[in-house]
Structure 1
């Protein structure tokens, strides 16, 4: 596996994860033959590493590992207290609700996305066996979605998950009628390649994390957002 290191200090390493690669071993580790970034990176570095956050198997982009327990503890606190902001780029189809079954409750509100407008999407999300859904028993979720414009027949978005719920961005775009290209689990009818969807984590902002500088981190780490 090619491991692309984007930034490294004494305490952290940030990797550009490929789509179709696990961030950390699955709970079926012994039977799961999929490539795992965390396992490969740990073997390459020949030391214990600690995942700070994760990306879905089908998602590409920046993922962060701590190189010691104290850095792991501190960075977990940054994420829990919303002091670190991640930004994702997504490619979707134009608004269409045909992928949502008739028996599923959805307001199906049609609207024309406007450039430079940031939408605030709130939900109560609960994770099922395979996918996330909305439920009164779910956890509060907030997503900031900025429409960037169109490219060919698709729409470009920048997304910031204020909360970090499983499949949060994938669910929100789907429920608003904009399934991510390639994301068949959430209704996409357009292929994007094997084991990949058009969602990429391309920026992590540490500027509000008070001790990030002391750990040798820059104000932000950013990579190309193109798929």
Structure 2
């Protein structure tokens, strides 16, 4: 039998901008699930006691009632997916993630992920985390189109030890990207606030109500209207580097979501990660060389300078 629906009833606060859609409020303020998931999981929606659609606009003082189904249980299965392991001990596995590999199962990607590969590689991994955990071992993420260094934990204590460093911004991260266009300076700092784009839930955008995001960049080489950049994110917002570079008018090659017109794999690579490992007093650096797709794309451009 299916589980009984859950429900929540809330009074819309004064701080909520008038005109906010009900599905946006459910996703961004209540954080129950995404707007796309709302269409599948909301079974009843009442505004001031009357049935309404998810597109209904809200105003402060409204009483919103949401009845919804729990998400389907994801069955995590070990999968024999080859991994390039940079380092491993009893607490962590550091992987050189290839482009195209999703980190953990989610809507649209129920299998074939890094988590499935880790469950096969570390046979005891599933038993080290609570039952029903859909992201066992995941400490941080790289987008599907981003390659490079990612660290995972083999147990709860190690995951919390690593996650705390990310929360306190004690982790040093270095990325390399090929972008279209020319940044305004040889080196610079990009600082803005990022929030999910209400018109396209797959995108993020700059806005005054978002979370603070800081990126340092440096031009390494220029060639035929393109630049090879080094990137140091001081914060870890979703799509941060992609949004920041697009805001400069320099989208990452292959990043069609943020303005690239080039049909290619995304040219963004996490080449170095530095942090402390459980039980180690000093920080350790892990490096991944630039993938072949970078050299191939760069050679195909015109004269360098």
When the two structures are superposed, what TM-score results if normalisation uses the length of structure 1?
0.81
Matching residue of 1:70: 157
Aligned residue for 2:163, secondary structure, equals helix
Matching residue of 1:87: 174
Matching residue of 1:220: 285
Aligned residue for 1:160, secondary structure, equals strand
Contact 2:161 2:278 in 1 (8 A): no
Matching residue of 1:143: 215
Report the CA distance shift for 1:216/1:24 in structure 2 as closer, same or farther (over 3 A). farther
Deviation sequence 1:56-107 (CA, Å, 0-9, x none)? 0111111110011111011010011111111111001123xxxxxxxxxxxx
Match of 1:38 among 107, 115, 128: 115
Contact 2:103 2:114 in 1 (8 A): yes
Report the CA distance shift for 1:32/1:23 in structure 2 as closer, same or farther (over 3 A). closer
Question: Does 1:122 find its partner at 2:187?
Answer: no
Contact 1:213 1:219 in 2 (8 A): no
Point out where structure 1 has 5 or more consecutive residues left out of the alignment: 96-109
- Following superposition, the deviation at residue 213 of structure 1 comes to 6.5
Q: Distance in 2 between matches of 1:34 and 1:10?
A: 25
Deviation sequence 1:155-181 (CA, Å, 0-9, x none)? 101111111000000000011011000
Deviation sequence 1:179-217 (CA, Å, 0-9, x none)? 00000100001121xxx30000010012xx4xx362488
Bigger radius of gyration, 1 or 2? 2
Contact 2:82 2:117 in 1 (8 A): no
Structure 1 stretches of 4+ with a deviation exceeding 6 A read: none
Point out where structure 2 has 5 or more consecutive residues left out of the alignment: 1-80, 126-135, 295-305
- Following superposition, the deviation at residue 52 of structure 1 comes to 0.9
Aligned residue for 1:214, secondary structure, equals coil
Q: Distance in 2 between matches of 1:65 and 1:55?
A: 12
Question: Does 1:168 find its partner at 2:237?
Answer: no
Cα RMSD over matched residues? 1.9
Aligned residue for 1:50, secondary structure, equals coil
Matching residue of 1:21: 101
Contact 2:233 2:241 in 1 (8 A): yes
Aligned residue for 2:252, secondary structure, equals coil
When the two structures are superposed, what TM-score results if normalisation uses the length of structure 2?
0.61
Matching residue of 1:55: 142
Query: How many correspondences in the alignment?
Result: 199
Most deviating of 71-80 and 144-153? 144-153
Match of 2:262 among 179, 190, 193: 190
Matching residue of 1:103: none
Deviation sequence 1:18-54 (CA, Å, 0-9, x none)? 111101111x2xx536631111121222122411100
Which of structures 1 and 2 has the larger relative contact order (alpha carbons within 8 angstroms, sep 6+)?
1
